[in-house]
């Protein structure tokens, strides 16, 4: 390997001269009848990237169908397992799903997840059922959920640049006040889940 | 490349004083010069772009590598993102028996606006017969091919990657640039 082919920054000017001499010498001594050259630029960008985060809906929260009993009843979906239980209703049917979202982020030192829950589910005519929420989180999508007790938000810390964050949240709770006096039909509400990162 | 040389010899003979006659001849000769005229040139297809890298955590040194063989990017102790490309040039030529390809570069890339800030750069390169072909690593800074017969046409692709290292938690952010000069001589 010729010595002029690899240089350090301290010898940039010297390098140019040596290289040019090297070309002409090589052409003459080796008898090249044609030659050509090309430059390939080399580039890298070092950056402290801005934190980013996103939230993706996995499942809506659905309690299925319920037939009221003789007294005020309730239906509960576990935020940790997604299991459905009921009290003082005649029948539950249809599929029940626990609400679930996936929160992801990058390059953050903090990821804050903050859901806002309704207090009631409302029927189109304006009648309502009482809703009390439960929520839980896990690093895995389908297992390992731990229920929050009184927290209304979840703050996760990261290491900043290069940090990658993923966490799953489930939403369940109890719908109560199910009585025969209420009109039949769908009762809806909306849980808003926000994530912020910094 | 073949060169044709056409030489015309003309001869005019005048009648003699003795009333003799003679024919006049015009000779035509063709010489074919078979001396080869090798030509080789480069064209640049892609620059070498490592993309973006974050700074490493305290106490560690980071590096980013692009493989000239696979074109893949990998990293140690830093996160990478953004578009990256392996560098590539194409060597084309005609009437070439042998050729040498050499590369010239500095061992570092320099911050685009703060010239005293540098990162280490260690080149790796490889060659193949087709652009997307199976690339073979080249050791050192020169590659030579000695042909047993002249190729009427030559196509060789050279890919450039390597490792940018010395990325520290306190490294100045921004764009770092360098260049590789690729030179070929052909006979």
Res A16: pLDDT:
28
What tens digit of pLDDT does each residue of A62-119 get? 999 999 999 999 999 999 999 999 999 999 999 999 999 999 998 889 999 999 999 9
What tens digit of pLDDT does each residue of B52-96 get? 998 887 788 999 999 999 999 999 999 898 899 999 999 998 888
Q: Please, which residues have CB within 8 angstroms of residue A125's CB and are 6 or more apart in sequence?
A: A183, A185
Q: Are residues A133 and A165 in the same domain?
A: yes
When mean pLDDT is compared across A14-23, A91-100, A122-131, the lowest value belongs to A14-23
Q: Are residues A68 and A17 in the same domain?
A: no
Residue A45 lies in a domain: no
Residue B171 has a CB neighbour count (10 Å cut-off) of 20
With CB atoms and an 8 Å threshold, state whether B40 touches A45.
no
User: Does ipTM surpass 0.90 in this model?
Assistant: no
Q: Are residues A4 and A82 in the same domain?
A: no
In chain B, residues with a C-beta closer than 8 Å to the C-beta of A162 are: 54, 56-57, 78-79
Q: Are residues A92 and A116 in the same domain?
A: yes
Residue A47 lies in a domain: no
Distances (CA, A) of B87 to A48, A171, B14, B41: 25, 50, 73, 17
Q: Are residues A72 and A135 in the same domain?
A: yes
Residue A136 lies in a domain: yes
With CB atoms and an 8 Å threshold, state whether B184 touches A7.
no
Q: Are residues A144 and A85 in the same domain?
A: yes
Give the end-to-end CA distance of chain B in Å, rounded to a whole number. 13
Q: Are residues A66 and A19 in the same domain?
A: no
**Which residue range forms the structural domain that includes residue A98?**
52-197
Q: Is A20 touching B (CB cutoff 8 A)?
A: no
What tens digit of pLDDT does each residue of B123-155 get? 999 999 998 889 999 999 999 988 766 767 889
Cα-Cα-Cα-Cα dihedral sign, residues B83, B174, B68, A36: positive
Q: How far apart are CA A196 and CA A51, in angstroms?
A: 9
Among candidates A57, A59, A116, A113, which has minimal Cα distance to A82? A59
Cα-Cα-Cα-Cα dihedral sign, residues B69, B145, B122, B89: negative
**In terms of C-beta density within 10 A (0-12 exposed, 13-18 middle, 19 or more buried), how is residue A162 classed?**
buried
Give the number of domains in chain A.
2
Residue A30 lies in a domain: yes
In chain B, residues with a C-beta closer than 8 Å to the C-beta of A23 are: 183
Q: Are residues A66 and A149 in the same domain?
A: yes
Please name the residue of chain A whose CA is at the shortest distance from the CA of residue B118. Answer: A9
Q: Are residues A32 and A78 in the same domain?
A: no
């Amino acid at each position: 390997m010729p010595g002029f082919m690899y240089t350090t920054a301290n010898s940039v000017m010297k390098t140019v001269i040596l290289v040019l001499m090297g070309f002409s010498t090589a052409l003459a001594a080796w008898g090249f009848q044609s030659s050509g050259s090309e430059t390939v630029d080399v580039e890298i960008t070092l950056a402290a990237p801005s934190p980013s985060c996103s939230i993706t809906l996995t499942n809506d929260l659905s309690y299925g169908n319920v037939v009221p009993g003789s007294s005020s009843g309730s239906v509960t979906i576990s935020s940790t397992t997604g299991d459905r239980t009921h009290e003082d209703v005649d029948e539950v049917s249809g599929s029940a799903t626990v609400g679930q979202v996936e929160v992801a982020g990058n390059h953050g030192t903090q990821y804050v997840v903050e859901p806002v829950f309704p207090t009631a589910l409302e029927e189109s005519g304006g009648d309502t059922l009482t809703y009390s929420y439960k929520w839980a989180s896990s690093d895995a999508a389908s297992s390992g959920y731990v229920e929050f007790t009184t927290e209304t938000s979840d703050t996760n810390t990261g290491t900043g640049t290069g940090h990658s964050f993923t966490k799953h949240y489930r939403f369940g709770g109890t719908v109560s006040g199910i009585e025969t006096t209420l009109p039949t039909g769908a009762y809806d509400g909306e849980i808003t889940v926000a994530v912020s990162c910094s | 490349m073949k060169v044709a040389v056409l030489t015309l010899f003309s001869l005019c003979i005048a009648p003699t004083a003795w009333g003799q006659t003679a024919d006049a001849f015009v000779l035509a000769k063709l010489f074919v010069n078979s001396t080869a005229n090798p030509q080789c040139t480069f064209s640049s297809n892609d620059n070498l772009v490592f993309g973006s890298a974050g700074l490493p955590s305290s106490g560690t040194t980071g590096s980013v590598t692009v493989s000239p063989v696979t074109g893949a990017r990998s990293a140690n102790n830093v996160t990478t993102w953004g578009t990256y490309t392996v560098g590539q040039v194409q060597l084309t030529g005609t009437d070439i028996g042998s050729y040498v390809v050499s590369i010239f570069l500095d061992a570092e890339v320099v911050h685009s606006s703060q010239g005293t800030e540098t990162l280490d750069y260690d080149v790796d390169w490889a060659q193949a017969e087709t652009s997307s072909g199976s690339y073979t690593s080249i050791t050192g800074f020169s590659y030579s091919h000695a042909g047993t017969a002249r190729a009427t046409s030559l196509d060789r692709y050279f890919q450039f990657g390597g490792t940018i290292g010395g990325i520290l938690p306190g490294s100045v952010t921004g764009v770092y640039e360098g260049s590789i000069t690729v030179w070929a001589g052909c006979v």
